[in-house]
Structure 1
Amino acid sequence: MSWSAALRDTARSGLSLDRSLGSPRRAVRGALGAALVIFPALAVGGPALATSAAMGAFTAGTATFQRSFRPRVSMAVAAGIGLGVSTFLGYLAVGVPGAFPVLLAIWAFAAGMAWSVGPSGGVVAATTVSVMLVVVQLPVSVPTALGHGLLCALGGASQALVVTVWPMESWRAQRDALADTYASLADYARRLRQDPFAHVDPEPFVLARQAATLTPWQARHRPPELHGLRGIAERIRPTLAALADPRVGAPAEGPGRDRAREVLAAAAESMDALARAIRTGEPVRSPKSTPTLTLAGSDPEGPRLTGAARRSARRLASLLRTAVDTLDKHDQDTISSPVIGPGLRRPPIFRLLPVALQAVRRQLRPHSAVFQHAVRLSGVVTASYVAARLLGLEHGYWAPLTAAMVMRPDFAQTYSRGVARLAGTVVGVVVSTAVVQLLHPGPWLSAVLAVVFMGGAYLTLRTGYAVMTACVSSYVVFLLGLQPGDPVVTALDRVALTLLGGMAALVAYALFPTWQTARLAERLAEWLAAAGRYTAAVLIVYGDPEQGGRRVRTTLLDYREARSELLQAMEWADAEPVSHAAKLPDLTRKQLDKARAAIGLLGRATILMEAHLPGRDAGPLPGAAEFGQELRRATSAAAAALLTGERVDFGGLRAAHERWDRRLAELPREDRTEVARAGGRLVMAAIADLDRAVRPRRPVPSGT
């Protein structure tokens, strides 16, 4: 993609608006949390203290709106503490000549590294940089620095208080994530009716797993119906694929295929009903068009499914009945205590620091995208601040503030947000300055207007970054309008400095980019290695059923997350103004697409075998474990070869498969054996496709 096309597309994305608004009640609650500290601070300490309290309360409130499955109270408290620390350190450093730029550089670098923890952490950390730049402009003495820092933290506590006292949409994010999983499965079942080789979207499953990872407090208070249904969905997914695939399930044509389509349609309607019940908390209303006999594929008046297909249909019916019974049981037993199983555990917020430090340590590498973003952010923010100070600009902090809020680790978000930030800031500053000129509000009316625009920012978080930025700029203008000065001159300065800071951020990314295109081969290699571990885990269970499916589940999650990361990297890379040939010298985009298809086929073959995974009491399948171990070694070597441009010899894997296939041929014919043979052949077909896809374009020297 050319630079002109990339800039056009990112600008269009940044200025695009969504007609939907956020929850008005949540917006009012966030504004109320800010008002609880702004007005008392204004009455007791004046405009300076009110500004610090407002900054802390607004940023903590914004943290509670981030897409996260962590309790909102803990997010508000953590954001408030971070803001308090940054404000206190900023006030201490600004009084020492030359100390504040050094602190700003270190703090901005740390904020950039916070993306190691996740997008929510990166966004909140970037906000602490902007708050530090704003509040230290207010004239205070060092002894009062601690008071300002405590007020910022108090703003976070205020938001935590209103969330606790006025709860709304409790567990909404978890319900939506689980419901989206069942809705995605319903869509998958419908697509399988037309395309028996369709792929399932992994994103809902990734989000559902994140939603099911609970803190101890959440584990004690979660609704009972949110326990166990995710595991059922995980088992439904391979069962659907095994039923539809003609190689191990229903025949490609004829009455058996028609019956399989009926089963898939009935399953889709049932899963839609489950999704609605999970999302709303109401009882399951199963459609009348999905009788049990149809789901089981055993209607005596119609064609019957046979063999592995019949087994898959029965398992599907059993899983759906279990899911419905789970919801019905919890709906009827309303006074029972929540069921607490072993589940997935998320550490409490106070124990998250070692985990975060470990994530940051993994990214402290020169070639890491997060590390490069942190260096770029630190350099641009500090340089903008120093330049503004040297030029004697009164409101020079708006330039580094804009840069801090615009810059992201990838090109698309940085440029789209940059354009939206510039447009929103210009509109917000102009509108708020006009209001100041017309109304000449005093301190109390300015504080009221600031709170109103805070609520507007919360309300428009989903509408578009430009609109939300306009509200944020307006509330900052009203807050700083509590200080003396000419509002027109101040507005012009802020617009000019916002343009300067935004352009500095965009130019810095263009000069020192972090192209996702250059990382596609690495993401592909990680997905291939994860696919090999997943397939090997399934084969090892076939060879030793007593091991159970726990390792299969772990490797499946790794496989799914690696695929999701590759897809996200490809989406970001498609928006970058660089040539794939220039950034992938050893792997063309065509080769990349073919390799993706091959790894996808490997994953699908594994899914089909997982659907018929033997129970612990089943007999071992000879040779399966040995073939799985050889497959894991071969795919691990192939993943390393993707990054070096070398060719992998799959001769040992082919020989291992031939030995295993001969041993299976000598066994009595049964569903499990036939599925294993078909799955093994699909695995080797995928390996052959992968071998052709990643074959080096340059000749490999002899003797290597």
Structure 2
Amino acid sequence: MSTERTEHIPSGRPRHRPPAPPAWLLKGLRPSTAPIPWAAAARAGIAMAAPLAVGFALNEPEYGALVSMGALSGVIGDTADAYRMRVLNIAVPQLFGAVGVALGTLVYGHGWLAVGALTLIALVSGMISSIGTVASVSGLLLLLNAVVGAGLPLPQPWWTAPLLLSAGGLFVLLLTLLGWPLRGRQPERAAVAATYRALADALDAAGGPDYDERRRQVTHALNQAYDLVLGRRARVHGRSPALVRMLAQLNVVIPLVEAAPAMHLRGRPLPPEIPAAVRDLAQAVEEGRTGKPVLDLPAPHTPAERALDAALQHAAAIVHVPEPDLHNIDDRLGKPAALTVRARRAVRDMMLSGASWRYGLRLALCIGLAQTLVSVVPVERSYWVALTVTFVLKPDFGSVFSRAVLRALGTAAGLVIAAAVLAEVPRGWWDVPVMVVLGALIPAFSAKGYAFQTAAITPVILLLSDLLNHQGFDLIRPRLLDSLIGCAITLIAGYLLWPESWHTRIGHRLADTVDDAARYVERAFGTHPDTDAGRQAARTARLQARRRIYREMSGVRNEFQRALTEPPPTGVRAAAWWPLVVAVERIVDATTAARVRVNHGAEAPADEEVAIVISDLRALAEGVRRVRTPTQLRPAALPPGDEASVLAPVRQELAAARAIAADDDH
């Protein structure tokens, strides 16, 4: 069907408008509103240009280019906030990158042996990329550097290139760590303060139409803060007073977050003193302020108001305490396992994961086809084909289809910049100031989107390739052709041949979340031991279940955003799930509010009502798991219940979710 639109004018003759670009493409080309990371841009410019200057000074420009290539991988991987995480994000991938370029160098010029080796490396790279962020970057560098080593004549002996590339990455790490003595704990502290501010915004919006979006922002801020603080704690031996204090300040946010849905269900705004008090706590966290807190809050009357008041009083006391108890920290979410234990679990899960094998095989197939093609058909400097395949199939950048299109557009834009540089700038020392500018553009453009990142990286790689190959302007045309070939291989062998690429997994992930909601209801209102230890264990299990649900919902939203960038019909089918996604979020909020009300004086629901809600949630999950779109659901009638029960809002949200499916069905 044509996207051409007509507009009737007074004469009655239709006026045709030109076809508009599809929405999924416009979404990828629209720059993000994320701020430009100026400090990262300055570091990138220095890290990329300094090795070139040293190389020219020593009359070894090829060595300088290789160090700059290593610095490029460090710049791409420097995405974390906390310094300890940045060490992992930069240093660990450098080890994999060194192994990759060493393996690539060893098979350089060996024809079909190189094809087989790169295909096997692609399988390993794809599988380890599914473990997590650091593993994803490590898998990327393993394959990218192997492709470069197998496609370019690098300095000998074989260990020279790995050493130089690693030096570039470690140089980026050194520049990154210069600020650690001055602001070592600042990222974690800022993340905790941001959680309080996000919560204050949600409380401001309670009772109004903006609450749901503000609550999602709280979930995102809470996830980020726990990732930073718990990630750091796992690497700190013993008890650090500063770390314990930050963890305590973060833990006491949880009761406030739990009380927010109960206040929202009242349907009217909160007194302004409450959000103001939470913002003052955020300021105290950021400044490290201690002393006796002064709170001027309205008197609570209902169970929900009592819950919020008690949580706020407790949070104020913990935030302002000067010396937390190092041995009695309220570790609500449980102690994280040691890094070695988590690493073993990650490897085991990867080996047993069908999704991990499928992605690895998909990447291996595309790389194998790319290398086979350039081995059979003479393609000038053919390593760029496999590089394109690797970047497009990167698993955490969104839709494969849209990435392929955006990669082609970004490469074309980058080639325009590269053409101007190679045509107008003399080779030699002039490359140094040019690289300062081009290197700084990488973090700045990466914050704006994938196509913009590609446009920034392309001229950098071409300029460094020219220092190794001395082809000058002749690099431009082959690079565009190679990029188009790589995108075509990815679209055919990495997208069209895999039916799972055509379907969204929102329904499956949403069904898992509804199952988690059923478990949460069971833990929130089920019978628990009467001992203090039993009650504490039940509370910890309930909090862990709740955090898991909200993390799952964040994953569902990410999957939803990814699916929207797919072309029709996948993107259209994804949009159909959105009302049900919101409905499930409201079910979880209503359950949390019910538990908070019971904790502060409301009557607990009957066991029969709890069993009905749990059964209905599981039935909804099973129905969502079976269908491809919500329109295929056949919801059954919800049994009547006590409207005065604390679970009445949960049953109402369940009825709303069923009504969504029923409305879609007609």
Give the structure-1-normalised TM-score.
0.76
**2: CA distance, partners of 1:241 / 1:360:** 37
Match of 1:17 among 31, 47, 71: 31
- Cα 1:518–1:22 change in 2 (3 A) is closer
- Cα 1:497–1:286 change in 2 (3 A) is farther
**2: CA distance, partners of 1:281 / 1:434:** 48
What is the one-letter code of the residue matched to 2:400?
T
Shift of 1:538: 0.7
Partner of 1:269: 276
What is the one-letter code of the residue matched to 2:347?
L
Match of 1:639 among 608, 621, 629: 621
Does residue 131 in structure 1 map to residue 116 in structure 2?
no
Shift of 1:558: 1.8
Equivalent positions of 1:308-457 (< 5 A) are 309=302, 311-330=303-322, 342=331, 353-363=343-353, 365=354, 368=355, 371-409=357-395, 413-442=399-428, 445-446=430-431, 449-450=434-435, 452-457=437-442
Partner of 1:470: 455
**1: CA distance, partners of 2:264 / 2:258:** 10
Partner of 1:86: 100
Partner of 1:671: none
- Cα 1:12–1:518 change in 2 (3 A) is closer
Partner of 1:144: 157
**1: CA distance, partners of 2:447 / 2:407:** 15
Q: Is the 8 A contact 1:273 1:284 kept in 2?
A: no
- Cα 1:620–1:241 change in 2 (3 A) is closer
Does residue 679 in structure 1 map to residue 661 in structure 2?
no
Equivalent positions of 1:458-497 (< 5 A) are 458-497=443-482
Does residue 208 in structure 1 map to residue 208 in structure 2?
no
Partner of 1:511: 496
What is the one-letter code of the residue matched to 1:275?
A
Match of 1:62 among 62, 71, 76: 76
Partner of 1:302: none
Q: Secondary structure at the match of 2:379?
A: coil
Give the structure-2-normalised TM-score.
0.80
Partner of 1:292: 296
Partner of 1:157: 170
Partner of 1:701: none
Does residue 606 in structure 1 map to residue 591 in structure 2?
yes
- Cα 1:116–1:345 change in 2 (3 A) is farther
- Cα 1:128–1:614 change in 2 (3 A) is same
- Cα 1:567–1:457 change in 2 (3 A) is closer
Partner of 1:71: 85
Q: Secondary structure at the match of 1:214?
A: helix
**1: CA distance, partners of 2:136 / 2:476:** 29
- Cα 1:445–1:574 change in 2 (3 A) is closer
**2: CA distance, partners of 1:6 / 1:181:** 40
Shift of 1:577: 3.0
**2: CA distance, partners of 1:395 / 1:557:** 50
Shift of 1:2: 9.4
Q: Secondary structure at the match of 1:493?
A: helix
Q: Secondary structure at the match of 1:292?
A: coil
Match of 1:28 among 37, 42, 45: 42
- Cα 1:347–1:447 change in 2 (3 A) is farther
Shift of 1:462: 1.6
Task: Please report the RMSD computed on the Cα atoms of aligned residues, expressed in angstroms.
Answer: 4.4
Q: Is the 8 A contact 2:511 2:622 kept in 1?
A: yes
Q: Secondary structure at the match of 2:206?
A: helix
Q: What do residues 512-534 of structure 1 show as CA deviations (whole Å, max 9, x unaligned)?
A: 35447442321221011000011
Shift of 1:240: 2.8
**2: CA distance, partners of 1:320 / 1:284:** 16
- Cα 1:198–1:388 change in 2 (3 A) is closer
**1: CA distance, partners of 2:34 / 2:586:** 39
Q: Secondary structure at the match of 1:144?
A: coil
- Cα 1:133–1:600 change in 2 (3 A) is closer
Q: Is the 8 A contact 1:450 1:474 kept in 2?
A: no
Shift of 1:509: 4.9
Structure 2 unpaired stretches of 5+: 5-18
What is the one-letter code of the residue matched to 2:366?
V
Q: Is the 8 A contact 2:525 2:610 kept in 1?
A: yes
Shift of 1:172: 5.0
Does residue 238 in structure 1 map to residue 238 in structure 2?
no
- Cα 1:650–1:430 change in 2 (3 A) is closer
Shift of 1:421: 3.1
**1: CA distance, partners of 2:580 / 2:657:** 5
Structure 1 unpaired stretches of 5+: 247-251, 298-304, 662-673, 699-704
- Cα 1:607–1:196 change in 2 (3 A) is farther
Does residue 533 in structure 1 map to residue 549 in structure 2?
no
Q: Is the 8 A contact 1:15 1:419 kept in 2?
A: no
What is the one-letter code of the residue matched to 2:625?
L
- Cα 1:426–1:582 change in 2 (3 A) is closer
What is the one-letter code of the residue matched to 1:204?
A
Does residue 113 in structure 1 map to residue 99 in structure 2?
no
Shift of 1:235: 0.6
Q: Is the 8 A contact 1:64 1:72 kept in 2?
A: yes
- Larger gyration radius, structure 1 or structure 2: 1
Q: Is the 8 A contact 1:2 1:577 kept in 2?
A: no
**2: CA distance, partners of 1:506 / 1:313:** 55
Partner of 1:702: none
- Cα 1:344–1:452 change in 2 (3 A) is farther
What is the one-letter code of the residue matched to 1:214?
G
Shift of 1:12: 2.3
Q: Is the 8 A contact 2:104 2:146 kept in 1?
A: yes
Match of 1:559 among 532, 549, 566: 549
Partner of 1:301: none
Partner of 1:665: none
Match of 1:281 among 272, 276, 287: 287
- Cα 1:11–1:687 change in 2 (3 A) is closer
Q: Is the 8 A contact 2:307 2:597 kept in 1?
A: no
Partner of 2:200: 186
Q: Secondary structure at the match of 2:107?
A: helix
- Cα 1:190–1:102 change in 2 (3 A) is same
Q: Is the 8 A contact 1:543 1:620 kept in 2?
A: no
Shift of 1:491: 1.8
Shift of 1:262: 4.7
**1: CA distance, partners of 2:512 / 2:485:** 40
**2: CA distance, partners of 1:411 / 1:29:** 24
Farther-moved stretch of structure 1 (485-494 vs 461-470): 461-470
Q: Secondary structure at the match of 2:251?
A: helix
The number of aligned residues is 634
Farther-moved stretch of structure 1 (556-565 vs 52-61): 52-61
Partner of 1:229: 249
